[in-house]
Amino acid sequence: AQKITQTQPGMFVQEKEAVTLDCTYDTSDPSYGLFWYKQPSSGEMIFLIYQGSYDQQNATEGRYSLNFQKARKSANLVISASQLGDSAMYFCAMREGQDYGGSQGNLIFGKGTKLSVKP
Amino acid sequence: DGGITQSPKYLFRKEGQNVTLSCEQNLNHDAMYWYRQDPGQGLRLIYYSQIVNDFQKGDIAEGYSVSREKKESFPLTVTSAQKNPTAFYLCASSTDRRRDNEQFFGPGTRLTVL
């Protein structure tokens, strides 16, 4: 079974509107971290936002916020006020394991969602 | 500026030849990683290193080899044993392997085997 599922291969959004990119994950480890990365056409992966499994509040970073629904194992990325420069591939990723001492898993990536922002 | 450099950006090789991809970081990070990305796919881990002179296989290590002789360098060799080496290769680093430490990525190397 896939650990990270991104069900939207591609999405369109009008400039200045908000968009939600879906991500569901599968783990039995109570301790894990969730990441979102942006990959523009140049290829470099850019870190956007992080959510820890024990974090009480949803993470926010500027125009990015993470809608974390732990019971549903969902970690959707919300981009507010879309800009043309937001057009890119977006990847959700998960790392299982403890912060210190315990074994730490590797980063597992979903297949990504291609976001296109229309002017 | 601190960051990760990968060279070259594009690389062409004939089938059966070994090729080494460079990855250098000046972020003073302990952990370094190599990923492979195929079209329409996410990243898959090839090898990682938590500290100098130590490295571990990832999910798809067959046909690849690495070394970590210096903290700032983590070269990847794609050997002739790799059945389908044409792909986009990304190198990354992080301060350590703590759960919440983000990985910083280089610009990638696109390898084409003819």
Q: Which residues contact B110 (CB under 8 A, 6 or more apart)?
A: A43, B9, B10, B11, B87, B88, B89
Give the list of residues 6+ apart from residue A71 with CB closer than 8 angstroms, or none.
Answer: none
B99 and A104 within 8 Å at the Cβ level: the answer is: yes
Sign of CA dihedral B90, B63, B39, B87: positive
- Report the pLDDT value the prediction gives residue A104, as an integer from 0 to 100: 58
What is the rounded average pLDDT of the residues B81-97?
89
Distance from CA of A39 to the nearest CA of B (A): 10
Write the pLDDT tens digit of every residue in B5-24. Answer: 998 999 999 988 999 999 99
Closest CA to A57 of A68, A49, A47: A68
Dist. CA A81–CA A58, nearest whole Å: 18
> In 3-state terms, what secondary structure has residue A67?
strand
pLDDT reported for residue A34? 93
Structure tokens at A2: 């896939």
Residue position matching structure tokens 């591939």: A89
Residue A55 backbone phi and psi in degrees, to 5: -70, 130
Closest C-alpha to B94, from B106, B104, B85: B104
Residues of chain A with a CB closer than 8 angstroms to some CB in chain B: 4, 9, 31-33, 35, 37, 42-47, 50, 52, 91, 93, 95-100, 104, 106-107, 109-112
- In tens, the pLDDT along B27-72 reads 999 899 999 999 888 899 999 998 899 999 999 999 999 999 999 9
B85 touches chain A (CB under 8 A): no
Q: Are B3 and B104 in contact (CB under 8 A)?
A: yes
**Strands, E assignment, B14-59:** 19-25, 31-37, 43-51, 54-57
Q: Which residue has the tokens 């369109």?
A: A12
- List chain A pLDDT tens, one digit each, 119 residues: 679 999 999 999 999 999 999 999 999 888 889 999 999 999 999 999 999 999 989 999 999 999 999 999 999 999 999 999 999 999 999 988 755 544 456 889 999 999 999 99
| pLDDT of A105 | 67
What pLDDT, on a 0 to 100 scale, did the predictor assign at position B40?
82
